[in-house]
Each structure stands twice: as C-alpha cells, then as structure tokens.
Amino acid sequence: MITNDFDAIVIGSGAGGAPIAQRLTLAGKSVLILEKGPLLQPQYLSEDGLSDFKRDELFATGPEKRIGIEGVANRGKAYFSSHVEPDLNDEPHIYRENDNLEYATLEGYTAQVIGGGTQLYGAVHLRFTTTDFRLQSFNDGRTDLRADPDGEVRREARDWPISYDDLEPYYCQVEELVGINGTSNNQLKAFSIDNLQQPLTPNPISAYAHQGMVIQGEQYRHQGQPVSPYRTPLAVITEDHAPSNRKVPAERDSIRSSYVNRYGDPLGLKSSTWVSLLAPVADRPNLAIWCNCVVTLLRHQGDRVTEVVFRDPSGQEQVLQVKAGAVVVVACSAIESVRLLQLSELADQEFSRRINPNNLLGRYFLTHCFGGAETAVVGNPASFPPLQFDKSASLDSDWAIDYPASEDFLQEFGLWAGAAIYNNTSDQALPLSLARTHGSQDIDTIWQTFDAGFWQSSDPSLPADQRSHPLHGQGMIDFFRENFGTRLSVSFMANQVPLPSNRIELHRTVVDKWNRPVALIIKDWHSHDRYLMDVLANQCREILRLGNANPNPDGIESGGIYMAGNARARIANHILGGARFGLDRNDSVLNRDCRAWDFDNLYVTDGSFMPTSGGANPTHTIEANAFRVADHLLNRL
C-alpha cells in the first residue's frame, strides 16, 4: 500500500481533470494526477528538442490491425487507430447494433495520453447557449415539437442545476488560461470578457461557406439583428500566451499546418490541457503526475472513498490510501468513468447502493446529433474540374454561425434545442487522409471505401451511368483532380434527446487485458433526433449552395449521422452523460457540485456530468465546469 498526503487525487488529465489539478496546485494543495496514458511532449518541453508527436499521417492513424475479440460480429475485421488510442483487442468498447449483434468499436474513446482528448481533437471550443442550460423549462408547455409522438422529448429534457450566467465567468477563464483564438462578436452567447486571441487568415476555400452562412443568417433575428458568422473559436494559440509560457512562431500563418484533428501538436500550439494548464505547474513540489497508471477500482468506507486501486506501469496492482479530508475526482472520459464506477459497484454492494440508488448510473448516455454537408467546390456558374485550394494550410475550422440556436429557428422548425454550424477546413487536406476517409469520416471505417476501389466522378460531361471510375492509374489522377484540395464540408453539432435506454453497461463476458469487464454501449437515435438532423443537414447544404460552393443541391452530399451504416456506434468523440448532475437526488447521480450524492469526497467532472449534451462541441464546457468545481473544492479543502 502507498500511503500519502494528497489532498486531491485526480483520475484523468484531460478536459475534466486538468483544470482542477491546476487550480488546486496553484492554491498550494497537494495533488496527484493518475493518468492511464503516456506523457508525450511537445518540442519545447523535450530534452532533445524533438516532440513525441509527429506531423506524419501514418504515425497518427497507423497500420492495419485486426479485431481478435471473441464473440463480436466484426471479429477478423481490419481497424486502424492512433498511437494514443487504446489497442482495441486489449480494451474494446462493444456496442449493440440493431440486429442485436455486438461489435467492437473504437468509438467512445477520446485519447489515452496526458491531456486526454485535448491532444488529438480539432480544438473547436464553443460555449453552450443560454437555452442549452434550461431545455426542460424552454420546452415546457410547447405543443409544436415535431417528430415526438409520445412526448418523450419534453418528458426527458432537463435543466442543468447551473445556468449560463453561473458558468460564464469560467468560460472566460478557459479562454484566458487555455488559450483560444476566434471572435466573440456575432456569437449568440454573451461574453462578459473577450479573452480570445486573433484568428489567423482563413483558408480561401472557407469563403464558399462564409457567404452561405451570411445569407442564411440574415433570415433569423437575435435581439433585432440578423445573425452573422464569426471566426470559430479554436484552442490553438496565435499569439504568445503568457499563462502557459508558450510562444508562437515568427511566421504566424505557419501555425495553419492542417496536422490538427487527430494529431498531437509537436509545437504545443494546440492548447491541450498538458501544455496549457499542467506543464506550467508540473515542477511544483505539491503536484505529482503518475502516468502509465490505470485506476481499476475505488473502495470506500461509509461515505468516503478511501482507496484508489491502480495498476502501475509494470502492471503491478497498487493501492493508494485516500487520507481523511481528501477528495477523489474521476475524469476519465464518460464511458470509462462510468465503467470505473460500475466496476467499483460490482465489487461492493454498499458502493453500489451509494453510487447508484436510482439505477441512473450509465443511463442517459449522450453524444451529439451531428452531420452536415459536403461538396467539391465548383463555383457558380459551376466549373469542371472543381476549384482547387491548398487545404494543407489550415486549422480545423474558419467560420461558425449560431442562427440554428436562435429561438426563431427553433420555433420555425419545431425543434427542442439548437445547434452550431461551422465549416471544416483541415479534413482530407493531406493525401493519406483523403484516401482513407473518402466516403466515410468515422474511425471504424477508415480505408473501407478506398479499398472497394471505385469512386464517383461529378464530371457533368459524362452520363450518370459512366461516372464510376477505378482508383488506379489514370483513374487515380482523375480522383486527385476532382477531390484533392477541392472538398468543403459544413457541419452541425446539436443536442441529442436524452433517453434512459441509451446507456453504458458492463459487458457480461468480454474482459480487457486486466480481466475487467469492458463497456457495452447501447444507444439509438430518437425520432426527433433524426428529424433535427435532417433539418440541420439541409441547412448545411443550403449554406454550401448559397455560398456558391455548388449551385446544384443534388451535387451536395448531406445527412445526419443516424443514416450511417454503423449509426448506433457513432459518437464523434463527444462522450457525455451517464452520471448526470442535478438538484434532485432521485433524478441524478451527482449533485450541483458534481459530487456523488451519497459520497462525501467523490466527484466526477468529465463529460459524464451533462444531463443534456449542448448544441456545440463539449470540451469548452467540460473545462469551464471543471474550473467551477475546482472553486468549490477549494472551499472545502
């Protein structure tokens, strides 16, 4: 047993854990971070000046591996993963398809590394809207909601136990301390302080989305003004960032490298929680970071978690005592946090009674309704071949717009909750990603369309039945001509209807490399979700059409994620819910401070605390909430 003097034990170093660890460390508390993944450094923190992250497509999404897990329907199938995603055969997530077969999936993992998902994400950092925090109240009494014949949406919508105004100061803190660039003007959320750094020059391809956003936004009013686009807030610094001692290159435009989404940043300009929050305090004597250590179980006595059981880097089981008065913060990303709590309750009935008295743990698991539209940019009048841009000089997104979150829009379409729309720029910018994500952008189907060997040309001079070309020789040249640097996509990110049937359970037979049951994901889309996605995908298509990306709407692919073959698995790395917070102990797992109701010292601060998923990417809100919980912890430590 390891005894210790830690005031706080934080499990997970990503968006949910790092803000707490940093705040408590700066306040002089004794803090331990236990992180399952490795510590990978940017150049400026590395002894030999070389980063552990590389601008290398094959390094980032690696060679072919094969699923070898017993009993899953996709056993033997190929899969590809990042060097900081888990080995699927060692640690699968399993999901249940609507044919009742079970499949291993990489979905539901962010990244396992110091910094968690913030090392790999595209870094879109949007605030939630005021309405996102109060969807139950907002929808109370509405009779105009579409595609909800049984009234489930109104029944299951929940208000957060905090308001936008409660969280707003913490949003400002994230923008300041983490390091975000973008513009606040034209966002439909009030900013009390604007801490955003200057965005970089947009990629020229984005103009074809921007114009469409302007035209669509003009139809909607917010406080009497048309809604206009704004520069997408991205957690990439564009100016020297004093809180984290990071400096930007002299040639600022070189920051747009397109090695962003699914790449750790060798220069540390992407504001992962490591470079922005933890590295600046890592040398302090009161902060310990034990990486390559995975927590496997929590034990308690009465209302206190008293032991944290973990595997050290050798695989040896160790037990950490939690001293009196200390707190334990679980922030491993929603599926794994829920799983840790479920494994702990499996081992101890009394733990189960305390953490899960209402059978809510694991339930109301959430992702986002997402999807969008995509086309090769042909201009107006349409030219062929399509227009070409150097998409390799880009970050993840240039323009965003909030009109799908306005009340006008929600009333017009009978939607329960809103969304943000933004364009993508770095997707398919490089040759390997162009090929391996052609036809599909999710991580379970990488290379699949390319392997099938054919692609559809949009050459208008060819009859429709002669547009299928092979992916070799001259066909490959034509493939590049039509697809390399030509494609523009616009995405939406929307609230998903919470359902108790969407849940995480422990699998009854499949175990991980430590012989612990793995997570089973059971989820589906509500009819209102599908309807909402249809509406928003159509908006994205209109944006591209009106932006002159393609005057022909039939030439624009669009859709919501529910249409994908593996729709039930699709999570887009936004892993939320399963341990929602609330004011009513009979209706939530955590209280307003993200503390488990019947534990004195157990907190959960990754995305699992969310009762609704927000109409935007979640990291900004997870980090802001973590800072909020940190303030609460400082009041008790």
Partner 1 sequence: MLVRQKCIFAMASIPLVKLSEIYVLNVATKHLAREILPARNTYGDAFPAGDPRGQISEAWRFPIIDRYANTPSLAGDEQLNKVTFVVRDSDLGGPKEVAVIGSFAGLYEQIPLQPVLFMGEPTGFRACSLLVPKQQLHIYRFMVDGQPRIDPINPQQRQLDNGSVWSLFFTEACSELITFQPWEARLLARLTEQILPFRTGDGEQFLKNHVNFLDRQTAANRFPLSYRLDNSVGAVNFIDKILSREERHHRSNYRICLGIIDTLLRERNSFVDTHLMSREMYAELYEQMLSGPDGTVPGWPYGEYGRPRFFMELVRRHTYTGAFSHPKYGGNAGAAGWQFLASRYPFDWQAALEAPLGRNTDYRG
Residue 168, SS3? helix
Question: Which CB atom, from 76 or from 500, has the smaller least distance to partner 1?
Answer: 76
Residue 195, SS3? coil
Buried/exposed code over 181-198 (b: 16+ C-beta within 10 A; e: otherwise): bbbbebbbbeeeeebbbe
What are the tokens at 94?
A: 């399993």
Round to whole Å and give the CA distance between 414 and 146: 5
Question: Which CB atom, from 506 or from 622, has the smaller least distance to partner 1?
Answer: 506
In whole angstroms, the minimum distance from the beta carbon of 103 to partner 1 comes to: 15
In whole angstroms, the minimum distance from the beta carbon of 470 to partner 1 comes to: 7
DSSP string for 493-559: EE-----TTSEEEEEEEEE-TTS-EEEEEE----HHHHHHHHHHHHHHHHHHHHTTS-S-GGGSEEE
Closest by Cα among 198, 195, 190 to 172: 195
In whole angstroms, the minimum distance from the beta carbon of 373 to partner 1 comes to: 23
In whole angstroms, the minimum distance from the beta carbon of 519 to partner 1 comes to: 17
In whole angstroms, the minimum distance from the beta carbon of 397 to partner 1 comes to: 18
Question: Which CB atom, from 89 or from 527, has the smaller least distance to partner 1?
Answer: 89
In whole angstroms, the minimum distance from the beta carbon of 299 to partner 1 comes to: 20
Buried/exposed code over 136-156 (b: 16+ C-beta within 10 A; e: otherwise): bebbeeeeebebbeeebbbeb
In whole angstroms, the minimum distance from the beta carbon of 259 to partner 1 comes to: 6
Q: Exposed, middle or buried: residue 47 (CB in 10 Å: 0-12, 13-18, 19+)? A: exposed
Question: Which CB atom, from 66 or from 585, has the smaller least distance to partner 1?
Answer: 66
Question: Which CB atom, from 408 or from 451, has the smaller least distance to partner 1?
Answer: 451
In whole angstroms, the minimum distance from the beta carbon of 549 to partner 1 comes to: 17
Question: Which CB atom, from 451 or from 584, has the smaller least distance to partner 1?
Answer: 451
In whole angstroms, the minimum distance from the beta carbon of 278 to partner 1 comes to: 15
Closest by Cα among 483, 525, 522, 490 to 505: 522
Question: Which CB atom, from 289 or from 421, has the smaller least distance to partner 1?
Answer: 289
In whole angstroms, the minimum distance from the beta carbon of 227 to partner 1 comes to: 32
Question: Which CB atom, from 63 or from 463, has the smaller least distance to partner 1?
Answer: 63
Round to whole Å and give the CA distance between 203 and 210: 11
Catalogue the long-range contacts made by 216-223 (C-beta closer than 8 Å, 24 or more residues apart). Answer: 216/401, 216/403, 216/539, 216/542, 216/543, 216/546, 217/401, 217/403, 219/403, 220/403, 220/406, 220/408, 220/409, 221/406, 221/408, 222/188, 222/402, 222/403, 222/406, 222/408
Question: Which CB atom, from 179 or from 577, has the smaller least distance to partner 1?
Answer: 179
Question: Which CB atom, from 321 or from 392, has the smaller least distance to partner 1?
Answer: 392
Residues 6+ apart with CB under 8 A from 110: 14, 116, 117, 120, 121, 333, 573, 575
